[in-house]
Amino acid sequence: MRSKIDFRLYLVTDRKQLTGNRSLTIAVRQALKGGVKAVQLREKDLGTRGLLKLAHKMRELTHGFNARLFINDRFDVALAVGADGVHLTQNSIPAEAVRSVVRKKIMIGVSTHSLKEAKNAEKGGADFITLGPVYRTASKLKYGVPVGLDTLNKVSGQIKIPVFAIGGIKDRRIAEAQKAGAFGVAMISEIFGASNISGKVKELIGACL
């Protein structure tokens, strides 16, 4: 398993945000063609069987493009399909518990919303974190007010693992997020809402450099 975090753009899936008649498989394939190298399968409404079936499809697809696959929350599914990692939430099994089971077999990402959570994730063995919502976004309203660039800067300066900014990240905001210390950015709607997903991804990757 490649241990280095070698991607700056992290695609998080949400098939409910797809436009037109696109299927999730088609949309992810287009993103991979555009250059996405890390995909988090995050379809929380699916049961275990449905998620496992979709995860197998995503594993085959990402393998074909030499891209990483992360499974949201379910490290058992991640192990079952041979994913590169699991992405934990604050309601998931703690990172240290997962790390004790998976050892170095897979990578661990953790969703965080504060410096305390970020430090706990790092201490627990996370390879990277997402921090947000940095900006106001409808999909993250349940997490409260945006953490803002100041918190992003503070967190990025106090932990050693890569920090990916998430929440309301648009192409025009990538530069300021990285200036505030973000290693990279995680996106959903900016990619899935694009009329030309492959083209949009190429633009975003260029902005992340």
What is the three-class DSSP state of 69? strand
Which pTM does this prediction carry?
Answer: 0.95
H/E element holding 165? strand 163-165
> Please, what is the average pLDDT of the chain?
94
Could you tell me the CA-to-CA distances from 40 to 109, 160, 198 in Å, in that order? Answer: 10, 22, 17
Active site residues: 42, 111, 140
Q: What is the pLDDT of residues 143-176, one digit of tens each?
A: 668 999 999 999 999 999 999 999 999 999 999 9
- Which pLDDT score, from 0 to 100, does residue 137 have? 77
Q: What is the pLDDT of residues 127-151, one digit of tens each?
A: 999 999 999 876 656 666 899 999 9
- Which pLDDT score, from 0 to 100, does residue 102 have? 93
Q: Any idea which architecture 9-208 has in CATH? A: Alpha-Beta Barrel (3.20)
- Which pLDDT score, from 0 to 100, does residue 2 have? 41
- Which pLDDT score, from 0 to 100, does residue 185 have? 98
Could you tell me the CA-to-CA distances from 61 to 52, 56, 82, 92, 144 in Å, in that order? Answer: 14, 9, 13, 26, 35
